[in-house]
């Protein structure tokens, strides 16, 4: 975990997993580098929010795998799910729901993001996830959960880096810098 810059109530906090994804963001807004995965993302964001002050909103920028052919570009997610938590079984065991889908941003008809600690590079896993989501990442659900619990608005903005198939790891390494440029372009388009 590394916080670059200073959090203040009048501007957003950018939450990014790794430096490669933040390479072109500049230094005009605070950036929290969390590390990869749900635990790293949740613990890093919870730590900085507990210290205060709170930002005006939390914006999670990062790469995502496409779960369907033809998905590319930058997307603002409207709903996020966990794909590696067996919510139905846990409900059957406890009578309580853990890991319910979360509406993020302004909601609406945008893409659904599936978050899990598994880097999806298997076509069978990709096809299974495509039944419920459009994109896959490793931090979005955790960031959204912490922001919601802190009462903060949250946006998840993802740029497609690969097709979550056999070659996903190789493709991510080759495309991450271009993805980081697109994420920076999106950010600057917001007037920040």
pLDDT in tens, 37-67: 999 999 999 999 999 999 999 999 999 999 9
- Residue 25 sits in which domain range? 2-189
pLDDT in tens, 156-173: 999 999 887 666 666 788
Kindly report the CA angle at 97 between 100 and 79, in degrees rounded to 5?
5
pTM, to two decimals: 0.94
- How big is the chain by its Cα radius of gyration, in Å? 16
Nearest to 128 by CA among 37, 64, 79, 67: 67
The tally of domains found in the chain comes to: 1
The CATH number covering residue 61 comes to 3.40.50.1580
């Amino acid at each position: 975990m590394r916080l670059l810059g200073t959090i203040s109530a009048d501007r957003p906090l950018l939450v990014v997993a790794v430096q490669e994804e933040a390479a072109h963001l500049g230094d005009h807004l605070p950036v929290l580098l969390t590390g990869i995965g749900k635990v790293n993302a949740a613990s890093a964001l919870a730590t900085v929010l507990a210290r205060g002050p709170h930002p005006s909103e939390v914006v999670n920028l990062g790469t995502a795998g496409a779960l369907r052919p033809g998905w590319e570009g930058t997307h603002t997610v409207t709903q996020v799910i966990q794909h590696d938590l067996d919510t139905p079984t846990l409900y059957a065991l406890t009578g309580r729901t853990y890991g319910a889908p979360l509406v993020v941003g302004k909601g609406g008809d945008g893409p659904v993001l599936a978050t899990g600690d598994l880097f999806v590079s298997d076509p069978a896993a990709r096809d299974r996830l495509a039944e419920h989501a459009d994109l896959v990442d490793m931090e979005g659900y955790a960031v959204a959960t912490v922001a919601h619990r802190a009462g903060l608005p949250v946006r998840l903005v993802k740029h497609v880096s690969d097709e979550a198939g056999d070659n996903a790891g190789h493709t991510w390494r080759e495309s991450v810098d271009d993805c980081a440029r697109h994420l920076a372009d999106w950010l600057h388009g917001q007037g920040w």
